[in-house]
Amino acid sequence: MSGKISTRPAKKSDASEIALLVNIAVHGGIARGWASDKRAKGTYEPLEVGRLDMMRDDTEFGWTSATIAEVEGEVVGMILGYRKADKFKAVPAKVTGFMRPIEELEAEANGLWFISMLGVHLGWRSKGVGSALLEVAVIKAKETAAHGLGLIVEDGNDGARRLYERRGYAVRSSRPMIGFQGGPAGGDWLLMVKD
């Protein structure tokens, strides 16, 4: 495993890889949702629903907001992010359960370039892929005149927290996790910000 890490804007044809890396970024949690989605019937694979979601052109949570990291033609990681509006927008009351604290923290990221997902394939972790993708976020923040960068991480994800802290991110706010079977380790979700 060697070679230069390069990054490029995602293409619609990357939707399957983006879905896989989104699922990796959330430790497999989103695939459980995809599996229970009515669109999963007959697909044999929950990631097919994720692929369909990532192919949408009309959402910031899809291929148009993703950047791919590659080494010698192999996709090794992905970042998905977007510029949050400057004005604070409260989370709708209909958002409940384990997503509520996550969406509350994201709402606090108003004015920031928000890193919604950063996923790196297992064999490529601790090899500079995450750092290369975080550099893309810095460029995107400048291009969109964002007031900084933000992301959410679980307090028990020590490796990711160390990476973000080395790159200048600090905890701004937290919310207690609402657990679910197979969910991430830790007790709190953390909003980390780099001004």
Go through the domains of the chain in sequence order and give each one's CATH number: 5-194 (3.40.630.30)
Cα gap 15→12, rounded to integer Å:
6
Q: With 70 as the cut, is the pLDDT of residue 181 above it?
A: no
Query: For residue range 143-167, what is the model confidence (pLDDT) as tens digits?
Result: 999 999 999 999 999 999 999 999 9
Confidence of residue 182 (pLDDT cuts 50, 70, 90): low
What letter does residue 90 receive in the DSSP assignment? Answer: P
Contact yes or no for 50/30 (Cβ under 8 A): yes
Confidence of residue 39 (pLDDT cuts 50, 70, 90): confident
Predicted local confidence at residue 183, as pLDDT: 64
Contact yes or no for 189/152 (Cβ under 8 A): yes
Average pLDDT of the residues of the chain? 92
Cα gap 184→177, rounded to integer Å:
9
Q: What is the DSSP string of 133-160?
A: HHHHHHHHHHHTT-S-EEEEEETT-HHH
pLDDT mean over 81-92 = 96
pLDDT mean over 114-120 = 97
Contact yes or no for 120/160 (Cβ under 8 A): no
- Overall residue count recorded for the chain in this entry: 195
Q: With 80 as the cut, is the pLDDT of residue 185 above it?
A: no
